[in-house]
Amino acid sequence: MGSILAPFTHVQRGRPALLRLLRGLLGGYLGFALFCFTLAASLRPLGVPAAFGLGCVVALLCQGAQLWRHRHRAGVAAEALQTAEPAS
């Protein structure tokens, strides 16, 4: 999917949009990988419903952590811009 979206995004929206797209895809892939790993590790001991539930919780926690990190970075950047003195 990224091999299709990346070139089109780059041509139509530019490099900053491409970087945002790739960061988002990478985060989504990380959440999916953690879901699959959690499912594989917990399927036998917990059973199907509990393993899928745990996998979903882990994936949502990963997505939530990434969202928090993104908002925290944006807040820090906004504060830095507000407190920066104008150049003379």
Specify the pTM: 0.74
Rounded to the nearest integer, the mean pLDDT of the chain is 88
Please tell me the distance from the alpha carbon of residue 57 to that of residue 76, in angstroms, as a whole number.
28
85 versus 13: the higher-pLDDT residue is 13
Identify the burial level of 84 via C-beta atoms within 10 angstroms of its C-beta, where 0-12 means exposed, 13-18 middle and 19 or more buried.
exposed
Q: Which two tokens stand for residue 74?
A: 């944006």
Please report the beta strands in 1-88, taking only residues with DSSP state E, as ranges in sequence order: none
**Domain spans, the chain:** 2-81
Helix, strand, coil shares of the chain, percent, nearest 5, are 90, 0, 10
